[in-house]
């Protein structure tokens, strides 16, 4: 990300202020919220592979590989997985590997929802050649996603320049990638994942500029650190309000990331009010997969706590959001 002054602090403050009133006054039960079929849950729970990245990337000896992910998800009583490409970076075009992975999913009754793609270049790179290289680099993951039965790939929208310059560059890269993914039946979604992409207003403006039904967002409940300013002990992080950010991104959401770190003795996440956050998610009519992304100590224990929290919140909100 460029110097924060180059994107105008006024834009940052104005973007937050312009929508703060709307979220505080919004009705959580909106007229466009889709009816829930009798007996079906408001949303389904999936598992993001980053939750077990330490098991796979073990400093000395990995405890498991990406191929073990489907079985692990089933152990956790979770029905769908969300892969992270950097945990099997050299396998995107390995058909024997992909067939093995798909068979393991089928054997355990696991649905492959999406692949999260990193380290393939910046889709908003100001250099035209590098931006097109990034588009090309993502295509192999789109092919792998199609083979595995996914409906989405998650990408990043990193760029450089002013607020508007970055917005135009990111939209351009996303549209060009979507031209390849759309015939495959795949969505291209952007996560709030650092830099301006963690500014809810900016990313929502990227979506409006791209104006493509196959391009959307993956709101993450925790990734709203826009920048760090200062040096040494005086260095501080600049955060965007997570509830406001999710509210701004949900109109374009095709997936949701339920980030968790720590829990109190009642099973509530201490950094995010899950009742408040899931009300925002559901108020926008979202009725799809919500992916667990636990980032702290005991991975399996944290995943189970997140799963149970989502189940409890879903039960408590069922009557509120039924047709």
What are the sequence ranges of the domains in the chain?
4-321
Determine how β-strand 289-294 pairs with β-strand 256-260: parallel
**Residue range 201-206: mean pLDDT, rounded:** 98
Band of the pLDDT at 60, cuts 50, 70, 90?
confident
pLDDT of the residue at 21: 40
In a 3-state reduction of DSSP, which class is residue 290? strand
**Cα–Cα distance between 291 and 133 in angstroms, integer?**
29
Residue 234 in tokens: 């005086």
pLDDT of the residue at 247: 98
pLDDT tens for each residue of 99-118: 999 999 999 999 999 999 99
Mean pLDDT score across all residues of the chain: 89
Residue 319 in tokens: 């009557």
**Residue range 81-92: mean pLDDT, rounded:** 98
How would CATH label the architecture of 4-321?
Alpha-Beta Barrel (3.20)
pLDDT tens for each residue of 270-279: 999 999 999 9
**Residue range 165-185: mean pLDDT, rounded:** 98
Q: What are phi and psi of 314, to 5 degrees?
A: -60, -45
**Residue range 84-113: mean pLDDT, rounded:** 98
pLDDT tops 60 at residue 58: yes
pLDDT of the residue at 203: 98
Report the DSSP beta bridge partners of residue 81. 47, 112
pLDDT of the residue at 116: 98
In a 3-state reduction of DSSP, which class is residue 267? coil
pLDDT tops 50 at residue 320: yes
In percent, the amount of the chain with pLDDT more than 70 equals 87
pLDDT of the residue at 262: 97
Determine how β-strand 256-260 pairs with β-strand 225-229: unpaired
């Amino acid at each position: 990300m460029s110097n924060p002054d180059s994107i105008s602090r006024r834009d940052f403050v104005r973007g937050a202020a312009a929508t703060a009133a709307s979220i505080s006054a919004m009705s959580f039960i909106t007229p466009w919220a889709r009816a829930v079929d009798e007996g079906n849950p408001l949303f389904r729970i999936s598992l993001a592979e980053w939750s077990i990245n330490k098991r796979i990337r073990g400093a000395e000896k990995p405890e498991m590989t990406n191929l073990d992910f489907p079985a692990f998800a089933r152990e956790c009583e979770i029905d769908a997985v969300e892969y992270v490409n950097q945990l099997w970076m050299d396998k995107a075009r390995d058909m024997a590997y992909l067939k093995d992975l798909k068979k393991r999913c089928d054997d355990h009754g696991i649905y492959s929802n999406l692949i999260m793609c990193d380290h393939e270049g910046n889709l908003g790179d100001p250099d035209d050649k590098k931006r097109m290289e990034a588009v090309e680099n993502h295509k192999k993951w789109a092919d792998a996603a199609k083979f595995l039965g996914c409906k989405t790939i998650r990408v990043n929208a990193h760029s450089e320049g002013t607020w508007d310059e970055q917005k135009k560059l990111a939209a351009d890269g996303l549209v060009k990638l979507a031209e390849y993914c759309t015939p495959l039946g795949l969505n291209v979604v952007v996560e709030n994942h650092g830099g301006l992409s963690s500014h809810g207003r900016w990313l929502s403006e990227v979506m409006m500029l791209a104006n493509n039904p196959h391009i959307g967002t993956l709101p993450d409940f925790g990734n709203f650190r826009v920048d760090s300013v200062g040096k040494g002990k005086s260095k501080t992080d600049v955060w965007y309000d997570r509830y406001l950010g999710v509210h701004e991104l949900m109109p374009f959401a095709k997936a949701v990331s339920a980030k968790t770190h720590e829990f109190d003795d009642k099973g509530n996440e201490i950094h995010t009010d899950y009742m408040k956050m899931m009300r925002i998610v559901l108020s926008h009519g979202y009725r799809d997969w919500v992916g667990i992304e636990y980032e702290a100590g005991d991975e399996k224990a944290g995943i189970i706590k997140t799963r149970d929290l989502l189940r409890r919140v879903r039960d408590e909100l069922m009557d509120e959001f039924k047709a």
